[in-house]
Amino acid sequence: MSAPALMASTTHPATISRATGHVAGTRDFEFTVDSTIDSILVLASLQCRKTVEIFRPDGQEMTSVNSTQNIDLKTGKILRVDFPEPGVWKLRISGTGLYVFSVMAKTAVKLTNIRLPNPRIGERQDVEARVTGEISSVRTQLVTAAGEPMSEPDSAEELTGGAWRIAITPRADRFRLRVLATDANGRPLERMWPVLFRAHP
């Protein structure tokens, strides 16, 4: 494993997006870069890889020429972009088999803690999430392990010390929590808790 991947949680501690699943053909994933982000790191792998491509908001593909670091691997890619422009970026994977990817960021806005004791499928319960940095209009959404939305975005209640309270109702046994918000410059922002939660029947 390369040094950027080994050091990712230290150099880029905030998770923007993460997913794992299976694909046969081509699949696109979108992720939002906001104005608080100093650097992004994309780690993507695909069991029988054909291509792994990352595109800027204007549609330009990221290459070794226009990125800070671009490492092609047999089954994936590691890409780093310093001072990325805000907007909706795209990751495109082509091939077959198991895929795993993470989009991580160096930023002042990150999820630092989520308290979710004993989640149960179909049962509504409160969750407390803690976020550093200045954000507003916070909403949350449950997504599947493969990155598909499991619920509509729901408003969060601001508490104190960067904490937010939300109500969730898991519809599947495995899910992640995504935070959608607005940054201090009015840009859309998203963060994801990297841990895959498991709900019980």
Read off the amino acid at residue 86: P
Q: What is the DSSP string of 77-140?
A: EEEEEESPPSEEEEEEEEEEEEEEEEEEEEES-EEEEEE--S-BTT--EEEEEEEES-EEEEEE
pLDDT at 25: 96
Let me know how long the chain is: 201
Domain residue limits, the chain: 3-106, 108-198
Ordered per-residue pLDDT tens for the chain, 201 residues:
566 677 788 899 999 999 999 999 999 999 999 999 999 999 999 999 999 999 999 999 999 999 999 999 999 999 999 999 999 999 999 999 999 999 999 999 999 999 888 899 999 999 999 999 999 999 999 999 999 999 999 999 999 989 999 999 999 999 999 999 999 999 999 999 999 999 998
Pairwise CA distance, residues 18 & 101, whole Å: 6
pLDDT at 2: 63
Q: Confirm whether 3-106 and 108-198 share one CATH topology.
A: no
**Which structure tokens are listed for 186?**
């009015």
Pairwise CA distance, residues 14 & 116, whole Å: 19
pLDDT at 13: 95
Domain 108-198: which topology? Answer: Immunoglobulin-like (2.60.40)
Domain 3-106: which topology? Answer: Jelly Rolls (2.60.120)
How many degrees, rounded to 5, is the angle at CA 36 between CA 34 and CA 40?
A: 70
Backbone angles phi, psi at 169, to 5 degrees: -135, 95
According to DSSP, residue 62 is labeled P
Q: Considering all CA atoms of the chain, what is the largest pairwise distance in Å, rounded to the nearest integer?
A: 50
Pairwise CA distance, residues 194 & 102, whole Å: 9
pLDDT at 8: 82
pTM equals: 0.92
